[in-house]
Amino acid sequence: MNLSRRFGLMLKSAALWAGMAIAVLGVLLAALGFLVAGFFLWVSHHMGNDLAAVITGGVLIAVAIIIALSGFAILKGMRRKQPSLLAEFGGTIGLVLRLAGLVVRRDPKKAIIISIIAGALAEYITSERKR
């Protein structure tokens, strides 16, 4: 399978998943609306319309606060402390030095050739180009 066909199938799959997610979200919101309306009608049957509206609003505010606090706790728990840039740079330098040491121990001739090529590349990259 070629790359463009695979990419097309991947985009089609993502579009189908997004469409399905939007449809499910719409149905869930409609169901939630009917549940809130049913709760309001049930409370109004027992206590009157004014008090039912206050109770329904209070319950919805309480549910929103619970969702916000639990979401905040989950997001705070997901956040990890990132290592500093200096620590990552040090790790990269350490890896390069270990690899260079391994190359020198295995075959010193290759290490000399690699160092000559690296020096030539550094000179080429950092030199000023004359026009």
Mean pLDDT of 31-51: 90
Whether residue 40 is found in the same domain as residue 61: yes
User: What b/e sequence results for 90-103 when a residue is b if at least 16 CB atoms lie within 10 Å of its CB, and e otherwise?
Assistant: eeeeeeeeeeeeee
Whether residue 50 is found in the same domain as residue 108: no
Asked if the model's pLDDT at residue 34 lies above 70, the reply is: yes
How many beta carbons lie within 10 A of that of residue 35, not counting itself? 10
Of the pLDDT bands very low, low, confident and very high (cuts 50, 70, 90), residue 129 is: low
Whether residue 69 is found in the same domain as residue 89: no
117 in a structural domain: yes
| Cα 68 from Cα 76, distance rounded (Å) | 12
Whether residue 45 is found in the same domain as residue 7: yes
The per-residue pLDDT for range 73-117, each reduced to its tens digit, is 888 877 766 667 677 777 777 887 787 778 778 877 877 887 788
Please give the residue range of the domain that contains residue 57: 3-78
* CA proximity to 52, closest of 42, 44, 61, 62: 44
Mean pLDDT of 46-73: 89
131 in a structural domain: no
Domains held by the chain: number:
2
Whether residue 68 is found in the same domain as residue 12: yes
pLDDT on residue 131: 47
How far is residue 22 CA from its own chain's centroid? 20
Whether residue 43 is found in the same domain as residue 94: no
The per-residue pLDDT for range 113-126, each reduced to its tens digit, is 877 887 887 787 77
Altogether, the residues listed in the chain come to a count of: 131
